[in-house]
Amino acid sequence: MKIFLKKLAFFFIPIILYVIIVLSLDIFKIFKDYETYYNQDITTLNRTYVSTKIFLKNKDSVNYDSFIFGSSRSQAFKTPIWKHYLPEKSVPFHYDAHSEDLYGIYKKLEFLDHLNSPINHALIIIDREVLAGTKKRLNHLYINPLEFNDVSKYQFYSSYILANLNPRFMIAYTDFCFFKTYRNYMKNYVRMDKYPDTFTPIFNDSYYGLTKEIKEDSLVYYNKMKQQGVFYQRPKASALILKVTNKEIELLNKIQSLFDKHHTNYKIVISPLYDQIPMEEEQLQLLYSIFGKKNIFDFSGKNNLTEPISNYFESSHYKPNVAKIILDSIY
Question: How many residues does this entry show for the chain?
Answer: 331
Number of H-type helices and E-type strands within the chain: 12, 7
Element (H, E) at 125: strand 121-126
Query: Rounded to whole angstroms, what are the CA distances from 35 to 53, 54, 277?
Result: 10, 9, 41
pLDDT tier at 180 (50, 70, 90 boundaries)? confident
Residue 28 sits at φ, ψ, to 5 deg, of -100, 5
Q: Which residues of 128-141 are buried (b: 16+ CB within 10 A; e: fewer)?
A: bbbbebbebbeebb
Specify the pLDDT at position 190. Answer: 80
pLDDT digits (tens, 9 = 90+) for 130-166: 999 999 999 999 999 999 999 999 999 999 988 888 8
Q: Is 41 left (phi over 0), alpha (psi -120 to 50) or beta?
A: beta
State the pTM of this model. 0.92
3-7, 83-87, 314-318, 323-327: lowest mean pLDDT where?
Answer: 3-7
Cβ 266 vs Cβ 122: under 8 Å? yes
pLDDT tier at 79 (50, 70, 90 boundaries)? very high
